[in-house]
Each structure stands twice: as structure tokens, then as C-alpha cells.
Amino acid sequence: MKVDSESFEVGDRIEILKKQCDEKVSYPSQVLDILGDNRYVISGPIQKGAIVSLYIGEVIEIAYIRENKGRYSFKAKVVSRTPKGVYTLNVEKIGKVKRIQQRNFYRFNIKIPVKKCYKLITYNGKKNTEEKCLTKDISGNGMKLMCNFRHSIGDRIECSFKLDDILIIADAEVIRIEDLTNNLDFEYSIGVKFLDIEKEKRESIVKFIFKKERTLREKGMI
């Protein structure tokens, strides 16, 4: 993709966000042709091998990632479609490009090994403790960890984990605690919020989630 956050190139990977009930459903897509400044031909959404019908005039949202910049989106209108043969959509951009803020990062369910470090206060002072944990989900803002140490709200921890070949080390704060009743390996689930995480690390997490979700959608698994 180009560095310009408002321009596409043929072949760019994008997401189609379609409103369904009270939530947005995401489908992987691709820019197939550029007809003008605000007109694009994109691949139509398919889920589990079946075409997801979009009607002419329907307003959708198109989301995409800019390398080292973040996630962006804009509203577009379906101008025409070709449901027979290769399913494509002719869309027109009708809204301004906006950066998707951190609060809009969605959580992706995935199990990732995490090493959790915590300074335990004892009678003899502070003691560094380490625990091998597992994520239940992750987002650009934080994650849900399964562990066996009983934390308190407000505890500060350090999390280190790998996303593909990228090592992420981030400080975090415990903001939620739940007991796990049907898990043989872990007793607790803790929600943690990343603190002052480097922009590059956050973007690495977002891009990892985007890549994994797109792969699952292409396989028809979600």
C-alpha cells in the first residue's frame, strides 16, 4: 500500500464491515480495480463458501491497515455488483477517512503462551515471581490471561509473548478478575490493560490480529 492513508493500489487487502443487527461483521476483500478518485472495484464478501449479498445503494464500511501508521476506515456505497461468476462490487467512497482509535480495537480469541512477571510483596520485601500463562483473547489495548496466581485489581505486571517472530514485552495493569470453574489448568482469568506500550508494538499486535482473522475467514472458519 502507499504511505498516503487515503489512496489504494490494485491488490491491496481490505475489510468490508457490514452492519448486522447491533454489531459490525467483518469480511476479507481486495481492491481489484480503481475507477477514479472515489470509485473502486473490490471482491465481494464470501462466508463459508457462500456469497454474502449486498444490495445496490447499501452503505458499508471499508477498513484497512497502513504500515507503521494504523488502521483506517471510510464509508462507501455499493453502486453495482456482479453476483454471477466472480463476485465483485463497484463501490463509491462517500465518507471521510478516519483512523480507528484504540478504544475500537476488538478482542480476538486466540491462545498464546505468555510469561507474566510480578513483584510480590512479602515480609522480607519484594520478590519477583514468574508464571506461564495463556491468553483467552488479545487486542491492541490489552488481553485476557488465564493464570493460577490470585491477583488484585490494580496490580502491575509485565507480559512477554511472541506473535509469529516478533517478541512483545509490555507493562500492564490488572483491571478485571474472574474465577475459572471448568478449566483444569488455570484457576483465574484476568483482564489486563497495556500501559504506555510502544506504538510499534501495538501496531504489531493489531496487524497480527488482522492477519489471523483474515486467514480464518478465507478458510470459512468464521
How high is the pLDDT of residue 215? 78
pLDDT band with cut points at 50, 70 and 90 for residue 126 = confident
How high is the pLDDT of residue 162? 96
* All structural domains of the chain with their residue ranges: 13-100, 108-217
Q: What is the pLDDT of residues 30-77, one digit of tens each?
A: 999 999 879 999 999 887 778 888 999 999 999 887 766 677 899 999
Residue 182 has pLDDT above 70, yes or no: yes
- Asked if residue 59 lies in contact with residue 79, where contact means CB atoms within 8 angstroms, the answer is no
CATH code of 108-217, in short, is 2.40.10.220
- Asked if residue 106 lies in contact with residue 93, where contact means CB atoms within 8 angstroms, the answer is no
Mean pLDDT score, 9-16: 89
How high is the pLDDT of residue 101? 62
What is the spatial distance between Cα 174 and Cα 126, in angstroms, rounded to a whole number? Answer: 18
3-state secondary structure 65-97: EECCCEEEEEEEEEEEEECCCCCEEEEEECCCC
Phi-psi region of 49 (alpha: psi -120 to 50; beta: other; left: phi over 0): left
pTM of the model: 0.56
* CATH class name, domain 13-100: mainly beta
How high is the pLDDT of residue 23? 64
